[in-house]
Structures are given as structure tokens and as C-alpha cells.
Amino acid sequence: MGVTVTDHEPATRSDERAASRATDASTPMLRQYREIKQRHPGHVLFYRMGDFYEMFFEDARIAHEVLGLALTSRGQQGGEDVPLAGFPHHALEPHLARMVRAGYRVAVCEQVEDPRKAKGLVRRDVVEVVTAGTNFSEAVVSAARNNYLAALAEAGPAWALAWADVTTGEFRSGQFSPRDLRLLLASLEPAELLVPAGLTRDREGRGRELAELAGGAVLTRLEDWFFDDAAAARDLREHYGAASLKGFGLEELPRAAACAGALLAYARDNLRSPLAHLGPPRRHELGGSLLLDPATRRNLELTRSLAGDEDGPTLLSVLDQAVTPMGRRLLRAWLWSVPGRREEIEARQGAVAALMEERRGERLQERLRPVGDLERLVGRLATGRANGRDLRALAGGLAVVPALCEMLAGAAAPRLAELTTGLDPLPDVLSRVTQTLVDSPPLSVTQGRLIRDGVSAELDELREILAHGKDWLRDYELREREASGIGSLKVRYNRVFGYHLEISRSNLDRVPERYQRRQTLANAERYVTEELRAYEEKALHAEERVLELEERLFRELAEWLGPHVPALQRNARHLAELDLIAGLSVLARRRSWCRPVLVDEGELHLRQARHPVIEQVLPAGERFVPNDVTLSGAREQILLLTGPNMAGKSTYLRTVGLVTLLAHMGCFVPAEQATIPLRDQIFTRVGANDNLARGESTFLVEMQETAFILNHATDRSLVLLDEVGRGTSTFDGLSLAWAITEHLHDMPGRRALTLFATHYHELVDLEHSLTRLRNANIEVRQFGERIVFTRRILPGGCSHSYGIDVARMAGIPREVLARAQEVLAQLESHEYAADLTPTLQRKPAAAEQVARTTQLALFAAPDQDLRERLRGADLERMTPLEAMRLLIELRGLLD
């Protein structure tokens, strides 16, 4: 490669290198560089010079740090060296990817005229700005998920948010409450978030809030005018040729339209494309769907395990049976946008059910496998980024359509019928692409060999010249050998000297007069002749013409495909859904999942339900123990689940949560039978130590999450509380758990179905006072000292926490266990000393005892009131809450 670099464009590169080496930095090249750089503030500029991309000044330092490129210097400016770093042009893709992944925005500046034809400095321009959100690179954009660019702005007390995936053409916008916004951003996980600069400047609080909201997104501040209502609305109308924004549902939401407009302008400018494939920004509303707040998504391990990684087993990984990236992405979208309306859910169920019959799902998958990522191929096509392989792949996707429609013709489900009738085999597109492009075209569209013979008469003719040219050269070689009598004479070619005759040193005396010497090598000399030069003129010209023509024909094909983009996109959407549904049907059939019945209201009942993920990952030989559950607003609103650690409480709660979610998604569920009343939201409060990594007090987080539930749960919610009050002292925790349960039971008009798992077995007493609370526990069998968890849920409370038994299983030393038993016995028999020091201390040795008594006397100056109050209290009959109150009162007396 190294040689051809200088061979190819010797003039441009060395001239400019020289220019940049001059001591005065105001060389024409650096002036051009500065001028382009000024138009792209905040971007790292990849400046094309011949076969290299170079970065200067600060950009060079960034490139050195991020890309690990050697930092050199070129010339000086103001007495200082000008730093420079560069890499060869063919390595653009990986370098771009690394830069963007590190959070930078890169402006790619190309030579926009042929250096050989340029007079003076080659003209250059930025052809693309690559950022996290405006990016087509497969090294950055994962096939398994959408890559969202989002734009956020204030809309009075609410927020406006627009988001788009430029690789697929999806585009949405809406206005949301702060709470819904959080929920959306957590689901969308945008790669890049655009905000008006004024927002971060003027509002201290909001600025901070924003950074947090953005999560892992790159935050890009745009001039405020990007978000101007009127200008944005005008731009949108023009872009979509619409008289008003009514059709998009954005007429009454000026800020949502402004965000959409800002996003469109930014993406269009960065990608240097009219973005004809970007659908109009459809209005997005959360009403009518099943909501999952960020904590719940985390706790139920939908797309990430609690440890935070995406590779571990999650609901997503279990559900993902898709055979195309499109189906995989749609599944993710289904997980964060869950319908709350029965018609929609049942339509999906019907489609899954129909594909379960006669193994249609499996057969459909076989057909869909070759479709690949039609959706993103269309995105590349529409933004001028498709190559020959992309278009062949696109045709491959179309080719399956007729057989697929035929296969599904018999399926009874209305949703399947909709999806298949919406498919268009586009025979013209298929035949034109396959007849124009060779079967396996190269990656590049500028290096030829991609257009079939017979497509263009001109191309055929040029190819003919080239092919016969080879014959001519062979013939010429033979002729010259004969004429000169030099048997080893060879016709050769290189980029510097073109065609030439090479003659070895030993034959030099026989070289004819008419040969003109060009170059001397160690053992040979190189010559040209008039005839050879004339041929070269014609042949090289033909070669160049062929490349130009092939590229032009390819562009014409791509352009001709332009008007078909919407139909191709519709196909992609429908094939994606068919893929997803086929996968869900295969899963349901293989795992014997059942079709849940969704009811508008009434009882939630699951028979023999299993946890969809744990069921899959249990070690060999272990079987998941299924359980039933019944909850109803009228009778069994709250199920209080007690049992020792490791018994399976959390798993049971999550099972109910996940089955409810799956049912709303239109999936079958891991149970023998399921009836589920439609829900508006699933709330969870799980685990006491998940947020340590975020550096927040676990107890504070626990209480925040609980407060959120108490404030937002409705009659139609499902609430899963796992261990509330664990993060504080026993009495505090117990009393909070107690009061929270009462509150959930008594919230007027808001009887959320609730599962509450707790190790506070004292709470079982609540069953006496709360009429819609039921106790349940997890069966524990005791064999002598050993205990065994059967994982079976039984009615009634658990009176024993088995903590010491679990400790024994874990290998705590015998002495410790024995002593713990002793302390427990004392605690349970309410053995407290008169001075409130529990008598838990070991019986001290006599000498020690003396010292201790004198010591205690210092602190325990007995207060008369306190003693009396304590003596008078009926500890035997007290509820834990009353005990708590007493404690507080007693401490008050001390002060």
C-alpha cells in the first residue's frame, strides 16, 4: 500500500505536505483548513490529504489520545510547532467509530475535485458529520437495537421530546410530564440528545437534571433558534409537503413540533442528505399503554440483569427468537411500548396462536432468514450510502415475499392477514436490481465489476476494447520480440510509467533505435514506443470510462429506486413483525406457554406459573416449581408473602410481574392457565442493595421508590414490594413496612393489586385488621437441623424466619450458631433488663461484672417516669407498631 500511496497522487500530496511544512502557517492549505474548521466548531475535523486523513492542532491531540495515533508536527505557527496526526484513508471506518464512541462529533472533509484536474489547491468540503446519533457505521450502531437521536426542550411545566432513528426512518414526537419523560428516556436510551443551549445556560437546576436524564447519551447543545416554534413548523411542513402539522398530530403541540424540526435540521445537515426516508414525526402518547418506570424495568431484568450487564439472561434474551435484526429490534420496542388495550393485545395473540399451528412459525422463520436487515438497507439506500451488496441484499429480501404470502394465505388471524396483504413483492424493483447488478458485487461502487453485461451498450463496448486490449498487448509483445530478436522482452505496466517494455541488461545491445528509455533498474531497462503510448492512451481511457460509467449506472439505479423507498419500508416493517411473531410462536410452542385471557377487570389468576427466565437457567437436574396466584381488588388485594431468605419469594413476585407484562405484550405466558385484568402500570420495589453502585444511600432510594409507588399506584396497577424497610433498624423498618401495607390497603379508590414479600414475619398479624390482605408463605421442610425449600407457596403466614438455619447451610461456625440461638431465645421471651439494656450479654465473669455495674451506673441514672411507664406497658399484647411508639415515647422521657 505504502508505494501506491505516493504513486497515485504524487503531485497533490507532496505539494501540500510542502505547503504545510512552511514556517509561516498561513499557507493556502492551512488557510483552507482553518476556514473549514471554523464552519464546524465543536467537531473534530478529519481533513483528507491524498490518501490520508490528517488532523491538526487540538484535533491532532485528541486523535493522539483517542485513536492512539503518533503526534508529529508540521511547520510552525507563531513560533510554535503545528501538531499533526493522520491515518490512511481506508481506515476511516474504524477510526470514526472509535472517535464517536468516545463521545466526539467528527466532520469528514473530502477532496471534492479530482486532484489531477485541480488548478492549485484541491477543493475540499465536509461531506458528512458523524455523531453518535447520526451514524450508519456497523461498528457503532448495533443491529439488535435502534440508535436514537433525540431532541428535548421545555414545554411550559412539561417537556417536549422528539426522537428518530436515521438508520431506519422511524420518527416520533410528543409532549410529556417530567415523570413520563424520565420513563421514555430510560426506555429509548438515546445515543445523542439535542437540547437548546439556552436551557443549559439559564437554568441551573434543569441543566443538572438534563445531564442526569440524558443517561449515557452524548449531550449536544444547539443554538436556540433550532428550536424556534414557527421556523421548525415551517421546515417540517416544507419537508413533508404538508399544508399543516395536523396529519402528524402535532398541531396543538408546538414544542413537540419544534423538537422534531430541530432534530430534522440537525440530522439533515450532518448526513448531507434530504432524508427522504424519514417518516413524518408521528405523535407519541403514553396514555393507554402499560407503563413500566425505570426502577421496574431494572428490577424485572427486562433487558439487563440487576448486575447491569446486557449479556446475562434477561427477559429479552429469552424472548429473542428472531431470525432478522429487524425482528430483534422490534422486540425491544415491544418491551418498552406495551399496549394497554385489549383489541391490540388480542390481535397479537391471535397471530401468535395461528403461527403455532402446523409449525407455521418455524417454516416462516426459514423463509425470513435471508431477508436480513431490509429496514437499514433501505435507510442506506435513501441516504446515498448503499453499495452494490446492499442493493443485492435488498433484492434478496424482496425475493422471499411471494412464497411467504402464499404460505400465510391460509392463516386465520386478522393481524397476519393485515401483515401479509401489506407486503408488496415489488417485482419491478426485484428484476431491475438483479438484472443490473452482478451476483456478488464488490464493497466499493467506484472500483467497477458491479454492473452486468448487457445493461449498457456503451459499457459493453468499452469492456470489449479492454478485453481485446489484452489480446493486443500479447500480440504486440510477440511482434516486438520478433522484430528485435529479444526473446525475453516483456510488456509491463506500473502506475508511474504506464505501459512499457522491459529488457534485461544482457540484451541491451539489441534494443532498436525507436525505443525511448524511461527508467534504469538493477538488471533491466524500461522503454516506451510511440505505438505503445498511443495504445495506452486508448486503453487507460477505456478503463477510466468503464469505472465512471459503472458508478453512474449504479447511481442511476439507486435514484430509480428512490420512489420505492416508502413501499420498501412498509415491507421491512411488516417482515419485522412477522419475524417477531414467528419467534414468539416458536417459543410458546416449545416451552408449552399458554394463551392468557385478558379481562377488563376482576381477578388476576395464574395456575402453575413459572419465571420465564429462571426456568431456562436452572442448573441441570433442577426443576422450576410452578405456583398459583390469585389477587383481586374485591377480596385478595394484598398477598403478604413471608418466608426465609432464599425460599423463593423474590422469584415468585417477579414471576407474577413478568407474566403480567408478557400478557400485555400479546405473548403467551409460562403458566398452565392465566387470567389477567388489564393494568395501567407495574410498580416494583425490589432488593435492598442494588443501588450501591450509584452511590446513594440504599435506604433513601428504597424510600424514594416506595413513595413513588404510594403516590402513583391506581386501582389498575400491579404493585410488587420486595422487602420494604430492610435498609434501616429492625423497629424502624418493621413499623414502616406495617404502615405502608395499611396504606396500600386503605387508599380510597386505589386498590392496587399487591404482592408483598417480607422477612418480617411479625407482619402476618395484619391479616386480622386488613380485610383484603391474605398471608402466604413458602413451604420449608425441616429435617432435624437441616431445612429444605420446596418452593411451594402455601396459604398462611410464616412464624419463623429460619435465619439461623440458613446461616447453618451457609457454613457459619457451630459456636456462633449456638450463641445466636441463645440470643434469639432471649429476644423472643422479651428479656430486657430494668435499665433497658437487653440481657444479651454473656453472663460476665464476677470481676468483670463489678466493673460493668459501676460503669453502667454512670449512664443509667434511672428516671422515675421512665421506669413507671415501662412497668405499666403490656408488652405481651402489644403490636410491633405500638412497641415502636412506646420506644419513641420512652426516649422522649430520657431527653
Cα of 656 vs its chain's centroid, Å: 26
Least distance (Å) between residue 676 CB and ligand ADP: 20
Least distance (Å) between residue 650 CB and Mg ion: 3
* Region at 836 (left for phi over 0; alpha for psi -120 to 50; beta for the rest): left
Cell numbers linked to 563: 420512489
Please identify, using beta-carbon distances, which residue of 236 and 609 lies nearer to ligand ADP: 609
Cell numbers linked to 820: 445466636
Cell numbers linked to 96: 470514526
> Using CB under 6 A, which of the segments 106-114, 196-204, 528-536, 646-654 binds ligand ADP?
646-654
Question: Cα–Cα distance between 364 and 408 in angstroms, integer?
Answer: 8
Residue whose beta carbon is closest to Mg ion:
650
Please identify, using beta-carbon distances, which residue of 507 and 645 lies nearer to ligand ADP: 645
> Using CB under 5 A, which of the segments 175-183, 268-276, 286-294, 650-658 binds Mg ion?
650-658
Q: Residue type at 352?
A: V
Q: Is 104 in the site for ligand ADP (CB under 6 A)?
A: no
Least distance (Å) between residue 715 CB and ligand ADP: 27
State the binding string over 720-759 for ligand ADP (x if CB under 6 A, else -): ----------------------------------------
DSSP H stretches of helix in 224-253: 229-240
* Region at 601 (left for phi over 0; alpha for psi -120 to 50; beta for the rest): beta
Please identify, using beta-carbon distances, which residue of 360 and 759 lies nearer to ligand ADP: 759
Residues 196-225 that bind Mg ion (CB under 5 A): none
Listed in sequence order, the residues at least 6 apart from 28 whose beta carbon sits closer than 8 Å to its beta carbon are 19, 120, 121
Least distance (Å) between residue 259 CB and ligand ADP: 42
Question: Cα–Cα distance between 120 and 353 in angstroms, integer?
Answer: 70
Question: Cα–Cα distance between 326 and 145 in angstroms, integer?
Answer: 9
Q: Residue type at 366?
A: E
Least distance (Å) between residue 340 CB and ligand ADP: 28
648 binds, among ligand ADP, Mg ion, none (CB under 5 to 8 A by kind): ligand ADP
Please identify, using beta-carbon distances, which residue of 571 and 650 lies nearer to Mg ion: 650
Please identify, using beta-carbon distances, which residue of 110 and 702 lies nearer to ligand ADP: 702
What is the helix (H) or strand (E) element at residue 711, kind and residue range? helix 698-712
Pick the binder of ligand ADP from 134, 650, 717, 758 (CB under 6 A).
650
In this structure, is the dihedral angle defined by the CA atoms of residues 712, 715, 718 and 724, taken in order, positive or negative?
positive
Of 501, 577, 487, residue with least CA distance to 532 = 501
Question: Cα–Cα distance between 329 and 142 in angstroms, integer?
Answer: 10
Task: Answer whether 134's CB lies under 8 Å from 119's CB.
Answer: no
What is the DSSP pairing of strand 282-283 with strand 289-292? Answer: unpaired
Q: Residue type at 419?
A: L
Least distance (Å) between residue 869 CB and ligand ADP: 39
Least distance (Å) between residue 332 CB and Mg ion: 27
What is the DSSP pairing of strand 106-111 with strand 44-49? Answer: parallel
DSSP annotation of 134 reads S
Query: How many residues touch ligand ADP (CB under 6 A)?
Result: 12
Place of cell 467537531: 43
Please identify, using beta-carbon distances, which residue of 648 and 797 lies nearer to ligand ADP: 648
Please identify, using beta-carbon distances, which residue of 337 and 645 lies nearer to ligand ADP: 645
Place of cell 448503499: 386
Listed in sequence order, the residues at least 6 apart from 105 whose beta carbon sits closer than 8 Å to its beta carbon are 42, 43, 44, 129, 130, 131, 218, 220
Least distance (Å) between residue 768 CB and ligand ADP: 24
Least distance (Å) between residue 649 CB and ligand ADP: 3
Least distance (Å) between residue 797 CB and ligand ADP: 15
Q: Determine the 3-state secondary structure of 709 from DSSP.
A: helix
Question: Cα–Cα distance between 405 and 15 in angstroms, integer?
Answer: 61
Please identify, using beta-carbon distances, which residue of 308 and 454 lies nearer to ligand ADP: 308
Pick the binder of ligand ADP from 214, 647, 718, 776 (CB under 6 A).
647
Q: Is 645 in the site for ligand ADP (CB under 6 A)?
A: yes
> Using CB under 6 A, which of the segments 23-31, 96-104, 349-357, 638-646 binds ligand ADP?
638-646
Please identify, using beta-carbon distances, which residue of 630 and 645 lies nearer to ligand ADP: 645
> Using CB under 6 A, which of the segments 358-366, 450-458, 649-657, 854-862 binds ligand ADP?
649-657
Question: Cα–Cα distance between 247 and 281 in angstroms, integer?
Answer: 10
Please identify, using beta-carbon distances, which residue of 316 and 778 lies nearer to Mg ion: 778
> Using CB under 6 A, which of the segments 206-214, 540-548, 640-648, 796-804 binds ligand ADP?
640-648
Pick the binder of ligand ADP from 37, 332, 574, 791 (CB under 6 A).
791
Q: Is 651 in the site for Mg ion (CB under 5 A)?
A: no
Beta-bridge mates of residue 786: 783
Q: Is 650 in the site for Mg ion (CB under 5 A)?
A: yes
Least distance (Å) between residue 299 CB and Mg ion: 11
Pick the binder of ligand ADP from 131, 314, 651, 681 (CB under 6 A).
651
Listed in sequence order, the residues at least 6 apart from 240 whose beta carbon sits closer than 8 Å to its beta carbon are 248, 280
User: Exposed, middle or buried, 506 (CB in 10 Å: 0-12/13-18/19+)?
Assistant: exposed
Question: Cα–Cα distance between 127 and 104 in angstroms, integer?
Answer: 17
> Using CB under 6 A, which of the segments 84-92, 199-207, 261-269, 647-655 binds ligand ADP?
647-655
Question: Cα–Cα distance between 496 and 491 in angstroms, integer?
Answer: 15
> Using CB under 5 A, which of the segments 237-245, 647-655, 748-756, 849-857 binds Mg ion?
647-655
Please identify, using beta-carbon distances, which residue of 76 and 616 lies nearer to ligand ADP: 616
* Secondary structure of 301-359 as H, E, C letters: CCCCCCCCCCCCCCHHHHHCCCCCHHHHHHHHHHHHCEECCHHHHHHHHHHHHHHHHHH
Please identify, using beta-carbon distances, which residue of 147 and 650 lies nearer to Mg ion: 650
647 binds, among ligand ADP, Mg ion, none (CB under 5 to 8 A by kind): ligand ADP
Least distance (Å) between residue 759 CB and Mg ion: 8
Please identify, using beta-carbon distances, which residue of 390 and 722 lies nearer to ligand ADP: 722
> Using CB under 5 A, which of the segments 33-41, 226-234, 646-654, 744-752 binds Mg ion?
646-654
614 binds, among ligand ADP, Mg ion, none (CB under 5 to 8 A by kind): ligand ADP
Q: Is 616 in the site for ligand ADP (CB under 6 A)?
A: no
Q: Is 646 in the site for ligand ADP (CB under 6 A)?
A: yes
DSSP annotation of 445 reads S
User: Exposed, middle or buried, 240 (CB in 10 Å: 0-12/13-18/19+)?
Assistant: middle
Question: Cα–Cα distance between 420 and 244 in angstroms, integer?
Answer: 32
Q: Is 648 in the site for ligand ADP (CB under 6 A)?
A: yes
Query: How many residues touch Mg ion (CB under 5 A)?
Result: 1
Which residues bind to Mg ion, rule: CB under 5 A?
A: 650
Binding site for ligand ADP (CB under 6 A): 614, 624-625, 643, 645-651, 791
